[in-house]
Amino acid sequence: MTAANESPPLRIYLFYLGLIGASLGLVARLFVLQVLDQPQYAAEALENRVSRVSDPAPRGIIYDRRGVPLVLNVPSFNIVVVPANLPDSEARTEAIYQRLAELLDMPLTVPGSSAQAPCTAGTGPNATRGVRDLVEEGAGFRPFDPVKIGCDVPKELALVVREERAQLPGVDVQVEPLRQYPTGELTAALVGYMAPLPSPDDAPLTYHYFVSRGFLPGRDRYGVAGLEASMQDILAGQNGSSLVEKDVGGQTLRVLGVETPTVPGSNIQMTIDARLQSATWAALTQRIKFVNDYLDRQEVFAGVAIVMNPKTGEILSMVSWPTYDNNRFARFIEPDYYNALSSDPFYPLLNHAVNIVYPPGSVFKIVTATGVLEEGLIDPQRTLEDPGKITIRDQYFPADLGRARDFVCWNREGHGAVDFVTGIAQSCNVYFYKIGGGYADERVEGLGIDRLGKWMRLFGFGEPTHVELPGELAGFIPSPDWKRITWGESWSTGDTYNAVIGQGYVHVTPLQMLNAYNAIINGGWLFQPTLIDKILDGEGNVITDTQPVLLHPERLPVADETLDLVRRGMRMAVVDGTLSGDLNIFGEIGVPILDVSEDLHVAGKTGTAEYCDAFAWPRGWCIPGQFPTHSWTALYAPYEDPEVSVIVFVYHGGEGSRMAAPIAGNILRAYFELKTLDAQGGSGG
């Protein structure tokens, strides 16, 4: 027993000291947690109950020049399931699956099925995924995210699901904007279509670009063709974001505020007139159908028709055929339909007016004609003899007639004495061989390939026109250096002869060819073609009013006298040349395209271009001297003061005067009929 005056043992002091230290440490820790670290933990707590929600921006609408909608936004109703919100009871969850399967005409499960996009799973007997398959797949990745079970369901079905939500916990209806294309295939090559964001594995650059701009994978779509693609940023606007408070189950309790405002996309008013677009489509496709039906086989495979204002560069209509129905891509990309289009040898997914190049044939002769006069190589009054052909001997073996090569005119009997205007009007190949490639027997120097290349570049060939369409090609200007590097061969006079009449290695897009014609028609100004008339806000106010843009800052270096002579040649083609008279197409009643009326005079040029490509070669069509031909025609009116120009190209269409010319004539008539209707106050709708 310890005495009363005896001091406590040391261990007692140590105990109390430790107790005091622990208390001080606890107080200090509480001070750190509740005072010093309070902002951090408060932020983490807030983050647990507050989420950032992306607010999709309404996408802009596309109209024609008269305000007719070509692209609309319509509501789409999707049936979704949030796996985390399904009942804990397996029996109740199974009952929900059964009810969804009944409403959506889907199986519960499809044995052996593999993961795929929900909206491609299908319904009815063709379903490739079941309700349970889709939900369980979503639960394994993001149980609190909605899983789409039925996409773009009828509004009536969506209302039924909403009415039954109390008996279907975890099931909801989402409303999303969907693109609708009222004019379908009529304008698909122009307005294009949209697609879901690709996965980061399939297209990492595209994926990260759009995600960085606030796009939400699985919800947002982007333009992949036509104006939907080229005007993507203008149409899309900017997605916003809001802060919302959620409970532990992920349900939204309230909106705390807007973090980033949503900026709606701007609307676009095109230069296209939907009525003229329809008339252009009908003129092209009906003629093609008539020829194929008459021959009882598919002889004509593709075509292009473009109408422009030559004084501004505005495109009034543009038809590319074959094409596709972009409404079939509005909800989701149908794999079978897309694969069929992709494997079609005539590329319906491409716009043949700008995405494919072709030999232009005789419509190209206006470029050669202009260059020859401007270089002072021929007196336009001088006549050259056309006997129907000229023969070029091999420069290395001039005495070996077996190596000689004939260059023929389309008129094998020849045109006789031909001057400049007659050469254009009659599309005389021999005359152009001589003035373009030279002919020593008549002491004609010829333009030559280098100077031809110079004039092609001045007329805009060899570079895109910069029209507002994706994937535009630049065409091709051949040169001796290119042939030497590519083929290991020297350039020959025969190569020049082919080039000056738009054959051989010369390739252009139909839009480039019409734009070159416009420069002749309007007095030497090369405009940038445009499909955009105005950019509008949601209230219809004009943000940007498109003005004509020149591809060259100055007028082309062409004398007025030269332009006048070329235009006279094109006028004579209608009066007494390749475009004159009634054009009887395979026994059809004559189609006169001489002039639209007594008071409205037309001018133009035909073209027949030989070709041999990957489609013609395996079919045995590429027979020397009997190559298959494309059909071309360019027209404009009125001759005295042009206001409209037309070009028509028909793949494997034969002679330009027989196939493309009647189509161009019908389009020209439609333009002036609509103009008369508008002047009389008619709607023409």
Write out pLDDT tens, residues 626-641.
899 999 999 999 999 9
Mean pLDDT of the chain: 86
Is the Cβ–Cβ distance between 427 and 576 less than 8 Å? no
Pairing of strands 62-63, 267-270: parallel
Is the Cβ–Cβ distance between 645 and 517 less than 8 Å? yes
Any idea what the Cα angle at residue 566 is, between residues 561 and 572, rounded to 5°? 120
The residues, ordered by sequence, that sit 6+ positions from 371 with a Cβ below 8 Å of its Cβ are: 447, 451, 452, 454, 455
The whole-number pLDDT of residue 563 equals 98
Condensed to tens digits (0 to 9), the pLDDT of residues 464-508 reads 999 999 999 999 999 999 999 999 999 999 999 999 999 999 999
Condensed to tens digits (0 to 9), the pLDDT of residues 227-283 reads 999 999 999 999 887 777 666 555 666 766 777 888 999 999 999 999 999 999 999
Q: Where are the alpha helices (DSSP H) in 539-659?
A: 560-576
Give CA–CA dist 232/195, Å, rounded. Answer: 12
**Backbone phi, psi, residue 80, to 5°:** -125, 160
The whole-number pLDDT of residue 5 equals 56
Q: How far is CA 417 from CA 387, 435, 446, 568, in A?
A: 9, 14, 18, 18
Mean pLDDT along residues 566-570: 97
Q: In terms of pLDDT, which residue wins out, 115 or 172?
A: 172
Q: Where are the alpha helices (DSSP H) in 410-487?
A: 420-425, 429-437, 448-458, 480-487
Is the Cβ–Cβ distance between 209 and 184 less than 8 Å? no
Give, as one character, the DSSP assignment of residue 589.
P
The residues, ordered by sequence, that sit 6+ positions from 138 with a Cβ below 8 Å of its Cβ are: 81, 83, 145, 147
Give CA–CA dist 316/562, Å, rounded. Answer: 28
Burial letters for 388-414: b for 16+ Cβ neighbours within 10 Å, e otherwise?
bebebeeeeeeeeeeeeeebebbbeeb
pLDDT band at 321 (very low <50, low <70, confident <90, very high): very high
Residue that the structure tokens 């279907």 belong to = 168
Give CA–CA dist 102/107, Å, rounded. Answer: 8
Give CA–CA dist 470/222, Å, rounded. Answer: 14
The whole-number pLDDT of residue 148 equals 86
Check pLDDT > 70 for residue 296. Answer: yes
AA letter at 489? E
The whole-number pLDDT of residue 589 equals 35
The tokens describing 515, both together, are 């734009």
The whole-number pLDDT of residue 682 equals 63
**For a pLDDT cut of 90, what percent of the chain falls above it?**
52
The whole-number pLDDT of residue 585 equals 38
What SS3 state is found at 70? Answer: strand
Give CA–CA dist 1/3, Å, rounded. Answer: 7
Domain 274-679 has what CATH class?
A: alpha beta
Mean pLDDT along residues 524-533: 97
Check pLDDT > 60 for residue 194. Answer: yes
Give CA–CA dist 646/532, Å, rounded. Answer: 19
Mean pLDDT along residues 679-685: 67
pLDDT band at 43 (very low <50, low <70, confident <90, very high): low
Least confident of 95-104, 464-473, 496-505, 519-528: 95-104
Instruction: Return left, alpha or beta for 296; rule: phi > 0 is left, psi -120 to 50 is alpha, else beta.
Output: left
Cα-trace Rg, the chain: 35
Q: For 445, what's the count of Cα atoms within 13 Å in the CB-facing half-sphere?
A: 10
The whole-number pLDDT of residue 598 equals 59
The whole-number pLDDT of residue 476 equals 96
**For a pLDDT cut of 70, what percent of the chain falls above it?**
86
Is the Cβ–Cβ distance between 311 and 638 less than 8 Å? no
Strand order in the sheet with 240-246: 50-55, 240-246, 252-260
The residues, ordered by sequence, that sit 6+ positions from 604 with a Cβ below 8 Å of its Cβ are: 570, 573, 574, 579, 633, 634, 635, 636, 661, 664
Give, as one character, the DSSP assignment of residue 629.
E
Is the Cβ–Cβ distance between 129 and 150 less than 8 Å? no
The enclosing H or E element of 81 equals strand 69-81
Q: Helices 274-295 and 660-679 meet at what angle, rounded to 10? A: 150
Check pLDDT > 90 for residue 150. Answer: no
The enclosing H or E element of 352 equals none
Least confident of 26-40, 176-190, 481-495, 583-597: 583-597
Check pLDDT > 50 for residue 586. Answer: no
The tokens describing 520, both together, are 């002749």
Global pTM? 0.86
Is the Cβ–Cβ distance between 70 and 265 less than 8 Å? no
The whole-number pLDDT of residue 397 equals 46
Is the Cβ–Cβ distance between 143 and 84 less than 8 Å? yes
> Highest mean pLDDT range out of 57-61, 312-316, 394-398?
312-316
Domain boundaries, the chain: 10-36, 71-183, 274-679
The whole-number pLDDT of residue 113 equals 66
Q: If we measure between CA atoms, which residue out of 607, 645, 650, 646 comes closest to residue 286?
A: 650
Condensed to tens digits (0 to 9), the pLDDT of residues 123-146 reads 666 677 778 888 887 776 677 778
Is the Cβ–Cβ distance between 491 and 449 less than 8 Å? yes
Burial (CB < 10 A; 0-12, 13-18, 19+), residue 236, is buried
Q: In terms of pLDDT, which residue wins out, 410 or 548?
A: 548
pLDDT band at 201 (very low <50, low <70, confident <90, very high): confident
Check pLDDT > 80 for residue 568. Answer: yes
Residue 223, number of CB atoms within 10 A of its CB: 22
Cα 528 → chain centroid: 17
